[in-house]
Amino acid sequence: MLQRLTIRDFVLVDRLELEFAEGFGALTGETGAGKSILVDALAFVLGERADAGLIRAGSERAEVAAEFAPDAAVSAWLRDNDLDGGGDGLLLRRVLDTGGRSRAYLNGSPATAHQLREVSERLVDIHGQHTHQSLLRADAQRRLLDAHARLSDLAARVASAWRDAREAKSRLESALADAETLAREREELAWQVRELESLGLSREEWEALDVEHKRLSHAAGLAEGARFSLAALSEDEISCETRLDAALSRLDDLAAFDPALAEIVPLLQSARAELSEAVSALHRYAGRLDPDPDRLAEVERRIDAVLACARKHRARPEDLPGLADRCRERLAAVSEAADTAALEARARAAREEYEALAKKLSAARAKAAERLGAEVSQVMRQLALGGGRFEIALAPVPEGGAFGLEQIEFRVAGLAGNESRPLAKVVSGGELSRISLAVQVVTSQAASVPTLIFDEVDVGIGGGVAEVVGRRLRELGSERQVLCVTHLPQVAARANWQWRVSKHDRDGEATSRVVALDERGRVEEVARMLGGVEITAITRRHAREMLGLGG
């Protein structure tokens, strides 16, 4: 539910903070006072496209913030997107600068346009006075029916299946058209794979070959270095081992005269042990280090083969194993693309999957269309369109599309003859407005959005019909939060609470003000809406009666 709206320097509003209540609220005022500006401000903070023209003259930026008490679904969405802010509420804030750039925030964190749209669809449903124009578009009619019947997820699956089927068909057609090209590429790739697999090189082998080649080609120098080291460490008369043993023996004898030397002896003993281990390791190394010209020749032949293959494929030797993997993957893809029998089977299966889902959607749409048509027709009769009958036609499209196997068309019968005809061809502007309102009332009752905004959707309606409109909005207000911008006293009188918007001239600058009306204020405002400029005792009495306050 919408709790608070704060507006700064937006169109005619300089500073405004509004607290919203539950139930049905009416927003009234003189024509041009700025009633719809509040709806525009809410649409702006919810992600509507905006330009610098919304900034109040003389200001550097416009800012709108809206606070909501989110329901369980919105709270879960906030947690899933790490936007819960650690609290129970939801604060949307959007800023627009004179360059036309806007920034949005959700609970203090920067938000993307996609995130704004996602959360706004769960918070508020705005019906503008020109909403009925969208009812003339086939795509809007289809989306409305699917949303009302809770078929949007199934419709999305149908659209996805359509894309899969179209892609499978495109692959088959490409394979048939490019069969010769694919065959040549497959032949070349098969040759490359055979040669690279025949070489059988791994990245580890190439690294090992390099190490082994260096060792074999320097075997003489390595052997000479090992012999020299062994002589210096243990085999010469004055080797390290001999001199270290002499030092240990002397210090061990002297330690009896000075205990300080006793601490040095263990250190030299440790060094003697490590020296002995090093000598043993050198002996083992020298024993393995016999020159092996045959192995060296074998390693060099292997290296030459690898280098020759690398030159042929214009690759580095260490990259040959990766090249082999890529060639195998591409060969598999080309082979699959050239396998027309498999592609035909896949295209057929994808088409069958699409048709199964689309037929399921068609059956559900048929039931929903009949039900929605009856419900809208019933409301139309309450809105003085008793001779009219609202119908939803499903026109088959044999090949189908992302939308399914039928086009949706809203039709009306009984207003311009008994024949059912498309909505745009049979109704006047006033009738279309009332039909639009009937559709909105019915579909809003089934919606899960907690806040509904109606912006002068009652244009062209009056008398007893206006009373019905007010009553239906009041009924909606018992289930959801409803705000209606209206010029009709019959609608305003049905509201649970009411605000008046007025325009003031301050130092030559026009600004809009909003006042929450008490009982007396509501009587005066409804009387103004009834009687115009001069308010008489009769109009006040009539206003009190409409408000249910007695004489």
With a cut of 70, say whether residue 256 has pLDDT above it: yes
Poorest-pLDDT segment among 211-220, 303-312, 512-521: 211-220
Segment 97-114, tens digit of pLDDT: 988 898 999 988 898 888
Question: What number is the average pLDDT over the span 379-398?
Answer: 87
| Percent of the chain clearing pLDDT 70 (strictly above) | 88
Closest CA to 497 of 507, 510, 484: 484
Q: Does residue 99 or residue 176 have the better pLDDT?
A: 99
State the pLDDT confidence band at 337, using cuts at 50, 70 and 90: low
Poorest-pLDDT segment among 19-28, 285-294, 375-384: 285-294
Poorest-pLDDT segment among 152-166, 207-221, 447-461: 207-221
pLDDT of residue 359: 96
User: What structural domains and CATH numbers belong to the chain?
Assistant: 1-123+449-514 (3.40.50.300), 183-337 (no CATH), 518-551 (no CATH)
Instruction: Give me the DSSP letters along 204-267.
Output: HHHHHHHHHHHHHHTHHHHHHHHHHHHIIIIISTT-HHHHHHHHHHHHHHHTTT-HHHHTTHHH
Question: What number is the average pLDDT over the span 254-280?
Answer: 83
Question: What number is the average pLDDT over the span 44-62?
Answer: 88
Buried b (16+ CB within 10 A) or exposed e, 529-543: bbbeeebeeebbebb
State the pLDDT confidence band at 162, using cuts at 50, 70 and 90: very high
Q: Where does residue 342 rank: exposed (0-12), middle (13-18), buried (19+ CB within 10 A)?
A: middle
- 3-state SS, 167-190, equals HHHHHHHHHHHCHHHHHHHHHHHH
pLDDT of residue 430: 63
State the pLDDT confidence band at 320, using cuts at 50, 70 and 90: confident
Tell me what the pLDDT averaged over the chain comes to. Answer: 83
pLDDT of residue 74: 86
Question: What number is the average pLDDT over the span 425-442?
Answer: 75
Instruction: Give me the DSSP letters along 335-393.
Output: HHHH-HHHHHHHHHHHHHHHHHHHHHHHHHHHHHHHHHHHHHHHHHHHTT-TT-EEEEE
